[in-house]
Structure 1
Amino acid sequence: MTRKSAIMFLAASTVGLFISLTSVQAGEAIEGTAKADKLEQCVEPTPVMRRNHFEFIKHQRDLTVRQGIRGSKHSLSGCVDCHARKDASGKAVPVNAEGQFCAGCHDYAAVNLDCFSCHRTIPGEK
């Protein structure tokens, strides 16, 4: 490889890297694409959800697992259906992916997020 072709290769690689870092990557969520982005509040007022969402989810878990009651307004699947965003290709991005809704808040609060070791992270197909 000549010196000139090596410089051209390096320049092209640098430009390609810059473009890939500044554009939306596949799998990266786009702000405003979740149902929740268009709502004034969640199923409860925002301050209530911030403080008590885990209690709501835990209570719903007990109702579902122990009594078979599904579909309340505090269901985990409802959270995922509303808070999952979409990427540039229109596919749902998992709510627990780095920088996404659940992961972002739980990282900020330094709380372990283990719901999704069993549960879906993207909305179910209709």
Structure 2
Amino acid sequence: MRPLRNIFAAILLLSGAALWATARADDGAGRTPTPHPPRAQGEHCVADTDFMRRNHMKMMMAHRQDVLHEGVRTPQFNISGCVNCHAVKGDDGKPVSFASPQHFCRSCHTYAAVKIDCFECHNSRPETDGKAAATEIDGEDAARLAAFLRETKQ
């Protein structure tokens, strides 16, 4: 009788664990939340969304090669176009910089643990009134960016 009771207890325990795991999976809870980047402002991207998710880095590297080594400048894959269209506004209504965890690029790059160096030279905020936004960061943005760079240093 006692071994049968142990078997029932084990079945109940395993069933409960399975139900708990299923419930956790269904509610999206986990150790690392998946990114949900904000939608872009424009009507359409330079390419299909699925293609861009998989290949934007290759396109940007090819564009960099064309610009820096060949001197060929084309606006289609220019990073300022990406930043202008995908800008995220903070609580103050102004576009956030790459230092902010809300920044469009950060949402996926943090999730994927991929360090990018684009904004060491390029502006991470969109152009306003035909002028590039200020590249300087200060205060809380600077502290967050420094912490992020320390965390992702490879």
CA distance in 1, matches of 2:100, 2:86: 12
Shift of 1:70: 2.2
In structure 2, list runs of 5 or more residues that go unmatched. 1-36, 131-154
Q: Which has the higher contact order (CA 8 A, sep 6+)?
A: 1
C-alpha RMSD over aligned residues: 2.3
In structure 1, list runs of 5 or more residues that go unmatched. 1-30
Instruction: Verify the 8 A CA contact 1:60 1:72 in the aligned structure 2.
Output: no
Return the index of the structure with the highest Cα Rg.
2
Q: Pick the aligned partner of 2:109 from 103, 106, 109.
A: 106
TM-score by length of 1: 0.63
Q: Pick the aligned partner of 1:60 from 59, 63, 75.
A: 63
TM-score by length of 2: 0.53
CA distance in 1, matches of 2:118, 2:49: 21
Shift of 1:60: 0.6
CA distance in 2, matches of 1:73, 1:95: 22
Q: 1:76-110, CA deviations, whole angstroms, 9 ceiling, x for partnerless residues? A: 11111111122344322124521321001001111
What SS does the corresponding residue of 1:93 show, helix, strand or coil?
coil
What SS does the corresponding residue of 2:46 show, helix, strand or coil?
coil
Instruction: Verify the 8 A CA contact 2:42 2:85 in the aligned structure 1.
Output: no
Aligned length: 93
Structure 1 stretches of at least 4 aligned residues deviating more than 4 Å after TM superposition: none
CA distance in 1, matches of 2:78, 2:94: 22
Identical pairs, percent: 40
Instruction: Verify the 8 A CA contact 1:85 1:95 in the aligned structure 2.
Output: no
Q: Pick the aligned partner of 2:49 from 41, 46, 51.
A: 46
- Relative to structure 1, the CA distance from residue 93 to residue 105 in structure 2 (aligned partners, 3 Å threshold; closer, same or farther) is same
